[in-house]
Chains A and B, each alone.
Chain A
Amino acid sequence: MNIDDIVLAVIDHLNEHHVPYMIVGSLATNVYCNPRSTEDGDFVVQANLADLARNIRQGRSDVRFDPQMAFESVTGTQKIVLRIEGHAFDVEVFQLGNDEHDQLRFSRRIQVQTFDRPVWIASLEDMIITKLRWSQHAGREKDISDARNLIAVQRDFIDWPYVESWCDRHGTRELLERLRRECAAE
C-alpha cells in the first residue's frame, strides 16, 4: 500500500460519510508551495472522534486502522492516531477545538480537486498563521521553514491584513515580518 492510498482512504471515508474536515500540516502546505516529505498526515474534523474511529474500523475491509485515542499537548485538542497495519505512515485526526482561530480557519477551509475527488484544505493564510503559532509553541524549525516557503511561493496571493491581524494576536508578528523581509530580499 502506498502512502497516497492511505491518505485517499481517509479522505474518501470522510467525504462518503459527510464528515466536515480539512487537511492541515505538511500535506496541506504541499498544496501551496514546494512539496516536501512528511512522516504523517494531519486532519481536523468536526465530529465525535470515538464515533469516527469506530466507523473507520467498521467501514473498510481493504484498509485496516488501529484507532488510538490520544491528547495533543500543545493545543489541548483531542486526536486519534490511525495506524495502518504493516505501514509506518500514521494519520492523526484532531477534533476541531474551541480556539477562536481554529474555529475561523475551519470555516475558511477551501476545496481543491485532487486525485479526481474534492478535498478540503486549510487556506493559505491560515496555514501561515498556524505554522508561525506552532513555531512559537513547539519551537520547530521546520514550521518556520514551511512558513517561509509558503510566503516565498505565494506572496502575491496572500491576504496580508488577515495574516497580520492574527499574528498580532498570537504574538508572532515580528517573526512574520522577518520572513517577509527575507522573502522580499530573495
Chain B
Amino acid sequence: MDSSTREQIERARRMTPDERFREGLALCDRTFRLMQDGIRHQFPQATADEVVRILRERLAIIRKIEAK
C-alpha cells in the first residue's frame, strides 16, 4: 500500500460518520459544479436548462462506461 492510500484510510478512520456523509455530499456538489462550468465554457450560449440537459447526457455516458 502506498503512503497516500494509507493516509486516506487513516483519515477516514479519524472522521465521524456525520463528517464522512457531509464530505461525500460536498464532493458531489463540487463535481457537478465543475462539470457545469466545463459545459458553459464549451457552450457559452447555452441556457441554464441546456446546461442541465448536457450534464445529464454526460452523466448517462459515465454510467454506461462504469457498467462495462
Which positions in A face B, CB cutoff 8 Å? 2-4, 7, 26-27, 30-39, 86-89, 112-115, 119, 138-142, 152-153, 185-186
Contacts and interface: CB of A to CB of B under 8 A. Distances in A.
A33 to B, nearest CB: 5
Contact of B22 (A34, A88, A114): A114
Nearest to A4: B25
B17 A3 contact: no
Given A88-B59, A114-B17, A114-B18, A27 B24 contact: yes
A141 B66 CA distance: 7
Contacts of A152: 9
Nearest to B63: A39
Contact of A86 (B24, B29, B48, B68): B48
B22 A115 contact: yes
Contacts of B25: 2-4, 7, 27, 30
B31 A37 contact: yes
A123 to B, nearest CB: 12
Given A3-B28, A86-B52, A30 B21 contact: yes
Interface of B: 1, 5-6, 8-9, 11-13, 17-18, 20-32, 48-49, 52, 55-56, 59, 62-63, 66-68
20 contacts: A3-B25, A3-B28, A26-B24, A30-B20, A31-B20, A34-B20, A35-B12, A35-B20, A35-B21, A37-B24, A37-B30, A38-B24, A38-B28, A86-B49, A89-B28, A112-B17, A112-B21, A113-B18, A139-B68, A186-B5
A115 B20 CA distance: 11
B1 A186 contact: yes
Contact of B67 (A3, A26, A112, A140): A140
A33 B30 contact: no
A35 B23 contact: yes
B17 A32 contact: yes
